Amino acid sequence: MSGCSSLLPVTVAPYPHGNSDRKLAKGAPSRIEILAFLKTCKDITRIHLAHAKVVRNGLQQDKFIAFELLRACSTAKSMEYATKIFSTLEAPNVFHYTAMIDGHVLSGSSEDGIRLYYQMIGSSIIPDGYVTASVLKACGLGLDLREGKEVHGQIMKLGLGCNRIVGINLIEAYGKCGAFQDAWKVFEKMPEQDVVLRTVMMSCYFDHGRVEEACAVFRGIGEKDTICWTALIDGLVGNGEMSKALQAFREMQRDNVNPNEFTLVCVLSACSHLGALELGRWVHSYLRNFKIDPNCFVGGALINMYARCGDIDESKQVFCQLRDRDVTTYNTMISGLALHGNSAEAIKTFQLMKKDGIQPNDLTFVSLLNACSHGGLAELGFGIFYSMKDYGIRPQVEHYGCMIDLLGRIGRPREAYDFMKSMNVQPDNIMLGSLLSNCKLHGDFELAEILAKILIDRSDLDSGTLVLLANLYASQGRWDDAALFRTRMKNRGIRKEPGCSSIEVDGNIHEFLLGDIRHPERDRIYLKLGELDELLRSEGYSPVIKVVLHDLEDDEEKERTLTIHSERLAICYGLISTEPKSPLRIVKNLRICYDCHQVIKLITKVTERKIVVRDRNRFHHFENGTCSCGDYW
């Protein structure tokens, strides 16, 4: 990748963390020096070094040193080692228990945290506000309402009910468990019902998908701060309300509340989903103007935003300019390149990752195999797949799914089926659906029938799989069988996800459905659609009506259905509302159909526009009558 290949060798100092390491390595460090060193420990290697010195100096039972050791282990999420240290303590106190419970919460082991709390109670150690707050976090994490209520009873007996930290964690524990009435009761008894408490309540509603109630709590907050606004935006993004999240961000700006890094990452996530490139660029500009040097967290979000908004060149530029890159940053870049069909560059980025000494993880290989799948690189894909064992990574269903998709895409569905039967994991619906879709694409209806029967026997069919089965039979003109699956969807209350396309114009997102007439500019859009249809037909365009998978009366009706696909409406709006010859960027939630793919190639030829379309599978860069995917998607 341009600008990233000339990396200078890194010289590692013998004492990378300075004087504290040097002092600890020499002679017998004092108790104060060991305590100071422990406060800097962030990884298990340094904790081992410190613990060895503690043991050599006979300080294992020093309560302060033991606490700092446990706290360091907790921060590093090394709870197995922390448990060994804790088991050697002759008389652990409430602070030691707090460090251990905090560590279990950070590591996601709520049950172990709650068990330790009861062990402490059984040892007649009186809880304080800190350990109580920690165990309440564990109750919320584990959605353990019964234990949370028991701890609440102890809180009242101990007179900790007015403790602010305890109260906040009690509200959060009840809220995470969905016990909102109990949460409100605690809230009403708190002496200061401020923005922090209301933000906690709002976040709990968001955790349960209760968006309207969360927004109602937000509206009830008087003076809203950065944390409050960020919680709102994050909650909306987490619940798929991307447009509302961006609207909230604009309101935050109007209220003159400055965003923090986390706010900007949430906004970038919404931009990525919607394809809101201009707003994403504004966020990037904001970072530059305030001289905020993107770290891995923000940098990764920028890379993802540019890639998913269609500007892969800017994505690569951000990646190359990052001072520090971690495995997530590399995975994001490789995934972005794969999405755009830049398979060779994705492989080069992986090689750069190894050169940088970054250990790949399972997600790295999912991204790499996706890149091979989008590029039709079967031999390379199998080489990468079998190399996973060299990194101690066992293939999971996602990795096998990439290989099945790769073989299916290049017209080898039978080989994909044999490979699937040899797997040591059970194929999921996504994998079976992918192969079924490729059988349909390459005309292997015999194998498609076998796969369909496997799927039909499953009880956990989702809407996407049912739609796929209905479309399979519709493509063969078997309307009764197709109707059967559509009836099953209706009986189960499942609705097919409607095709939706969006385009960003002047910083605003405009969304279109099939045959949409809601847009204020609908008259001009449909006028342009008619003009374009005549122009394309004069260029030799003939609608591919076989892609219409509905039992319609005549070909004219099928042609009309194709004409009003959502991506065509979005393109027509872009043509009438942007400068001539400027590029258009469209985001579609479903796979682009063959007919629309052919039409957009022709549109770029007759309008001299570049059109970038992101569909469910990948990016298509249309220009001068061709597409970057090479008609392979």
Phi and psi of 536, rounded to 5°? -70, -40
Nearest of 501, 533, 536, 495 to residue 516 by alpha carbon: 501
In eight-state DSSP terms, residue 59 is -
CA distance 586 to 629: 16
List the structure tokens of 616. Answer: 């469910």
Q: How many helices (H) and strands (E) does the chain have?
A: 33, 6
Two structure tokens written together for 355:
């050169």
Type of residue found at 581: K
Residues 616 and 509 placed together within one structural domain of the fold: yes
Residue 167 resides in a domain: no
Look at residues 448, 471, 496 and tell me which one is the last residue of a structural domain. Answer: 496
Backbone angles phi, psi at 33, to 5 degrees: -65, -40
pTM: 0.81
Q: Within a domain: residue 383?
A: no
> Rounded to an integer, what distance in angstroms lies between the CA atom of residue 606 and that of residue 536?
8
Produce one character per residue of 462-489: b if its CB has 16 or more CB atoms within 10 Å, e if not: eebbbbbbbbbbbbeeeeeebeebbeeb
Burial (Cβ within 10 Å: 0-12, 13-18, ≥19) of residue 442: middle
Residue 293: count other Cβ atoms within 10 Å of its Cβ: 12
What span, in angstroms and rounded, lies between the C-alpha atoms of 173 and 171? 6
Domain boundary among 496, 523, 552: 496
**What is the chain's alpha carbon radius of gyration, rounded to the nearest angstrom?**
29
Please check whether residue 164 lies inside any domain of the structure: no
Q: Are residues 522 and 620 in the same domain?
A: yes
Which amino acid is residue 601, in one-letter code?
K
Interaxial angle between packed helices 145-158 and 129-141, expressed in degrees from 0 to 180 and rounded to the nearest 10 = 170
- Residue numbers of the chain with a pLDDT score lower than 70: 1-28, 461, 494, 545-555, 558
Domain identity same for 598 and 506: yes
Distance CA 186, CA 184 (A): 5
Is the torsion defined by CA of 551, 552, 556, 561 positive or negative? negative
| Together in a domain, 507 and 462 | no
User: What per-residue confidence (pLDDT) applies to 391?
Assistant: 94
Has residue 220 been placed in a domain? no
Range of the domain at 437: 395-496
pLDDT reported for residue 27? 53
- Phi and psi dihedrals of 505, rounded to 5? -135, 125
The reported pLDDT for the residue numbered 92 is: 96
Instruction: Evaluate whether residue 519 is within a structural domain.
Output: yes
Q: Are residues 415 and 520 in the same domain?
A: no
Side-chain half-sphere CA neighbours of 273 within 13 A: 16
Residues 473 and 521 in one domain: no
| Spatial separation of the C-alpha atoms in residues 217 and 301, rounded to whole Å | 28
Would residue 477 count as lying in a domain? yes
> With contact defined as beta carbons under 8 Å apart, do 112 and 86 qualify?
no
Domain count of the chain? 2
**Domain end point (choices 479, 496, 513):** 496
Rounded distance between C-alpha atoms, residue 330 and residue 478, angstroms: 46
Question: Does residue 622 contact residue 341 with C-beta atoms inside 8 Å?
Answer: no
Residues 527, 488: one domain? Answer: no
Residue given tokens 């994998």 in the structure block: 431
Q: Is residue 246 part of a domain?
A: no
Buried b (16+ CB within 10 A) or exposed e, 236-257: bbbbebbbbbbebbeebeeeeb
- Give the CATH number for residue 445: 1.25.40
- 397, 428 in Cβ contact below 8 A? yes
pLDDT at 555: 63
Residue 107 has which token pair?
């590591």
Domain-embedded: residue 560:
yes
Cβ(519)–Cβ(573) below 8 Å = yes
Closest to 119 measured CA to CA, from 163, 145, 83: 83
pLDDT at position 19 is: 47
Angle at 572 between CA 566 and CA 577, to 5 degrees: 125
Q: Would you say the C-alpha torsion 159, 164, 169, 172 has a positive or negative sign?
A: positive
| C-alpha 118: how far from chain center | 36
Same domain, 543 and 564: yes
The reply to whether 540 and 485 lie within a common domain is no
Whether 433 and 447 share a structural domain: yes
Tell me: do 399 and 486 sit in the same domain.
yes
Q: Which among 5, 621, 51 has a CA at the least distance from the CA of 313?
A: 621
Same domain, residue pair 444 and 540: no
